[in-house]
Amino acid sequence: MVSHTVELRFQTYPSYLVLRRRDKRVKAFGTAVIDTGFDGGIYLNIALLKFFEDLNPIRMEKLVSSFGEKVDCEVYEIEASLVSEKDGLEVDLKKVNVYIPVDPAYIEGEVLVGREILNRLKVVLNDVYSELSST
């Protein structure tokens, strides 16, 4: 049931996220912000756009921004995992949906991890660390 247990500084610090492209044998890793208000899986920042170059989106979807605007997004599927900052343990998220707005004006500076992913995890919050495990 639970394959890995990792501790992430969940509330006050961003988490380490790894994205993998098997076709090009490359991975991207960096910090992402856990966003419980985001419906999707991963919301991309501008720095990672090129990582998705030449991939075809699996579908189009409309997200609603915090200002109530409908934002057209291309949805890409990619393998991802969350990594413990403390000991490097990795929670394999397998395939996740990545949302990239068609209009660059809606791209933000941070990578967001939303509920599509968080709902797959068992999350235990405490004062300093949060415990995440795959279910």
Partner 1 sequence: MVKKVSLSLPDRLFEELDGLAKESSRTRSSIVVEALKAYLSEPDIRREAKTYPTALQKLREQIVIKLRSPRLAKARIESDWIVKSEV
State which residue, 57 or 90, has the beta carbon closest to partner 1. Answer: 57
Give the DSSP letter of residue 35.
Answer: -
Question: Which CB sits closer to partner 1, 47 or 64?
Answer: 47
Rounded to the nearest 10°, the torsion over CA 75, 112, 103, 54 is -50
Among 101, 116, 120, 123, indicate the residue that binds partner 1 (CB under 8 A). 101
Residues 103-122 binding partner 1 (CB under 8 A) are 103-104, 107, 109-111
Nearer to partner 1, 26 or 125 (CB): 26
Total of residues contacting partner 1 (CB under 8 A)? 33
Our finding on whether 30 is near partner 1 (CB under 8 A) is yes
Binding positions for partner 1, 35-94, rule CB under 8 A: 45-57, 74, 76
Q: Which CB sits closer to partner 1, 4 or 20? A: 20
In angstroms, the CA 37 to CA 49 distance is 22
Q: Which helix (H) or strand (E) holds 117?
A: helix 115-118
Which residue, among 65, 63, 91, 67, has the nearest Cα to 79 in the 3D structure? 91
Phi and psi (nearest 5°) for 31? -90, 145
- Closest by Cα among 91, 101, 94 to 77: 94
Instruction: Provide the binding-site residues for partner 1, judged by CB under 8 A.
Output: 20, 24-31, 45-57, 74, 76, 100-104, 107, 109-111
